[in-house]
A and B are shown apart, each in its own frame.
Chain A
Amino acid sequence: MIDYLWLLIALPLLGALTLILFGKHIGEPASGWLASALVVIPFLIAAALTVPFLNGAESETVFLFSWIPVIGANASLLWDPLSALMTLVVTGVGGLIHVYSVGYMHGDPRYPRFFAYMNFFIASMLTLVLADNFALMFVGWELVGLSSYLLISFWFVKPSAAAAGKKAFIVNRIGDWGFLIALMMIFAAFGTLDFAIVFAEAHGVLSVGLATAITLMLFIGATGKSAQLPLYVWLPDAMEGPTPVSALIHAATMVTAGVYMIARTAVLFEMAPISLAIVATVGALTAIFAATLAVGQRDIKRVLAYSTISQLGYMVMAVGLTAFTAGIFHLMTHAFFKALLFLGAGSVIHAMSDEQDMWKMGGLRKYVPITFVTMAVGWLAISGLFPLAGFWSKDEILASAFAKGGFFLILWGIGVVTALITAFYMTRLIILTFFGDKRWDEGVHPHESPWTMTIPLIVLALLSAIAGLWNTPVRLGLEHFLEPVFGDIHQVHPAGGLTVWALALISLAMVVIGILIAYGRYGRGDLPNEEGGYWTAALDGYGVDTFYGKVIVLPGKTISTWLAMVFDTKVVDGVVNGLAYGVRAFGSSMRVLQTGWVRSYGAAIVAGSLGVILWLLLQGGAF
C-alpha cells in the first residue's frame, strides 16, 4: 500500500499538466471537477495510509529515484505521522476548497488555468511536506512560492494584483536566502542533507553555536514563508488573489510551511535555546502586532489576512516554546477555521457582487443564512470559545508558555491579550457583515451561494467545531499520534490539574470580554466613526510598507538604476568596447605587413626561418 505514496504528488501534477495543455477543450465546469478529483483521491490514499499509524505502525521512507545521491538528496518520500497529518490537512482542506472554487470561479475566462495552478500548488506542497531530505524540501518550498505568485497575480490585468504577486515572490526570496544558507551550513557540517542522518548525528556533530547559527538561518526562511515579523508584509497584499487562493495558500497550508519546517527540524532547534527564545518572541510579537492591525481594517479579507499572520504568530511561538505538538495542533485547527472564514468571506463577497468593504455590508444574515451560520462557527472557533477547536489548540500554546515560566510568562501575557483582541476584531467582522442596518449600494441583491460553495463551508464548520477534541488535557490524542516524531524531543508540557483549567478560565474570560466590548461598540445602533488617528494608521498598516519602501526598496532601486545607467554603460560596456577598439587599432597597424605580394611573404618566411636557425645555433653553443 505504501508503494502508492508517490501518487499523492503525481496525481495533482498530472492534473496541472492536463489542464495547462488541454484545459480549453475540457472547459467549465469539467476542468474544476477533474482538478477536485485529483486532490480528493490523494486524500483518500493518504487516509488509507494513515490508518496503520493509529495502530502504532513504524514510519517509512519510500525511495523513488536517485537524484543527487552524493549530497544525500534523492527523490525519496518520508511517511511518518507528522507528514501524514500535514498531507491530510493539505489534501482535505485543499479538496474542499477545490470543490468550492468550482462554484466560485464560475464564469472566469481563465477557469481551467486557475485549477491547473491550484493542482500545481497541491503537488508542490506535498513535495515540501513529504520530502525526506532538505534539498527536496527546498524544491517544494520554492515551488509553493511559485504557485503562490501565479495565483496571487491570477487576475494580473489589475495592476495591484500583479504588484502583489511580485511583492510576495520577492519578500519570500529574502526568506529563501536564509533557508539556503542554512542548507549549505548543514551540508558543510554533516556532508549530507538527508533528514535521518542529520537528525541522528546532530548531537555528535553540532556545537551549540553552530546549531544556533543554522536554526536562525532556518528561522529566517520560516519568517518569509509563514509571514512573521519583519517579513509579513506580503501576506495582506496577497489578498488580491481569488478568495479560494487566500483560503488555501494564504491561510490553511502554504503559510504554515515555516511552522512545519521548524517542527520537522525540532532536533536542531532543541539544541539551540537562544534560537528557540528568539523564535518564540518573534511569534508572540507577530501575534499581537498583527492582531492590532486586524482591528482597524475595513476590507473583510484584509481583516482575515492580518488575523492569519496573528495566528501564525501563535504557532511560531508554540514551536519556539518547544511545544511542537501544540504548534502542529493549532496549525491543523487553524487550517479548518481560517479556511472556513475565508471561504465564508468569499461567499459574502460573491453575494455582494464583489464588494469587500465591510462598511458597505450589514444585515446579511437573512440573505445568506448558511454562510452566516457556518461563519459564526468559525468566528467562535478562532476566538477560542469552549468547546470549539480554537479553544483547545490556543490554550495548549498559552498553557505551555505559562508552564515554561520565567521570561516566557511575558509571552504568555502577550498571548492572552492577543486572544482578547482576536475575539474583538472577529466579533467586529461578524457584526459589521451580518448584523445591523443594510449599508450596501443600490442595485446589490445578496443571494446565497450555490451548493458547491456551501457544502465545503458546512464540512469545515463541523471540523472547526469538533477537531479540538482530538487533543484535550483529558485525552491527548494528537500528542499520542505524533509520539513517533517528537518522542525523543524534550517538549514543554502544560501543567496538569487545576492550573490548566485556571488558565483556560482566564483566556475564556478574555474572549468573552473581547466579544462584549465589540458588541458594545458595534452591536447597538449607530456605528462609531472610525477615521483619523489609530484607524488611519491601521488601514495603512502602520506605514510599514512606506518605511520599507524608503529604507529598502528606494536604495535598492537607486543602486540598480545606477548600476544599469552608469556602471553598465560606462564601465562594463567601456571595458568591452575598449578591448574591441584596442584590437582594431592593433590590426590597423599590422595591415602594412600584408602587401599582397607573394614574394614578400616568401622573404618573411625565409627571414623567419633563418632567425629560428640562428637562435637554435646560439642555444646549442655553436658560436
Chain B
Amino acid sequence: MIVMADVTVTVGWYMILAAVLFSMGAAGVLLRRNALVMFMSVELMLNSVNLTFIAAGNELGLVEGQVAALFVMVVAAAEVTVGLAILVAVFRRRSTANVDLLSELKG
C-alpha cells in the first residue's frame, strides 16, 4: 500500500486503472480497422491484465502474480512476432492493413 499525503492508493485504484486500460484496448480492437493499431490495442489489454496480476499479487503477498505477468509477457512477445510477420506478408501482397478488406475467409 502506497501512501501519498492524505490520499491512500489502495489495490482498488489499480483495479480501476486496469479496467479502464482494458476497456480502451477492447474498444480499440473493435473500432479500429488498421491491423497494426489493433495489435497495439491487444497489447494494451494484455498489459492491463498484467497490472491486475501484479497488484493482486502484491496485495495478497503472493509471488505468483509476478510469475503470471512474466508469463503473459513472454506469450505476448511470441504472439506479436507471429502477428507482425503475418501483417508484413499481407501488406506486401495487398498494400493495405485494413482488416475489413481482408474478408476472404467468409463462410
Q: Residues of A with Cβ closer than 8 Å to B?
A: 590-599, 602-603, 606
Contact = CB atoms under 8 A, between A and B. Distances in A.
B105 A602 contact: no
5 contacts: A590-B107, A594-B107, A596-B104, A598-B35, A599-B99
Most buried by A among B31, B103, B107: B107
Contact of B106 (A590, A594, A602, A606): A594
B104 A602 contact: no
Given A597-B99, A598-B102, A599-B99, A606 B107 contact: no
A596 B29 contact: no
B99 A591 contact: no
A595 B99 contact: no
Interface string B74-107: 0000000000000000000000000110111111
A597 B103 contact: yes
Contacts of B29: 599, 602
B73 interface: no
Contacts of B99: 597-599
A538 to B, nearest CB: 77
B38 interface: yes
Contact of A595 (B30, B31, B35, B103): B103
B26 interface: yes
A602 B30 contact: yes
A591 B106 CA distance: 8
A192 B99 CA distance: 72
A593 B104 CA distance: 14
Interface of B: 26, 29-31, 33, 35, 38, 99-100, 102-107
Nearest to B103: A596
B53 to A, nearest CB: 17
Contacts of A592: 107
A26 B79 CA distance: 70
Given A594-B106, A598-B102, A606-B26, 6 more contacts: A592-B107, A597-B99, A597-B103, A598-B99, A599-B99, A602-B29
A598 B106 contact: no
Nearest to B42: A602
A606 B102 CA distance: 21
B26 A598 contact: no
Contacts of B105: 594, 596
Contacts of B26: 606
A595 B107 CA distance: 6
Nearest to B99: A598
A554 to B, nearest CB: 55
B39 to A, nearest CB: 11
A210 B17 CA distance: 82
A597 B30 contact: no
Contacts of B100: 597, 599
B103 A599 contact: no
A525 B48 CA distance: 120
A393 B33 CA distance: 104
Contacts of A594: 105-107
A594 B33 CA distance: 18
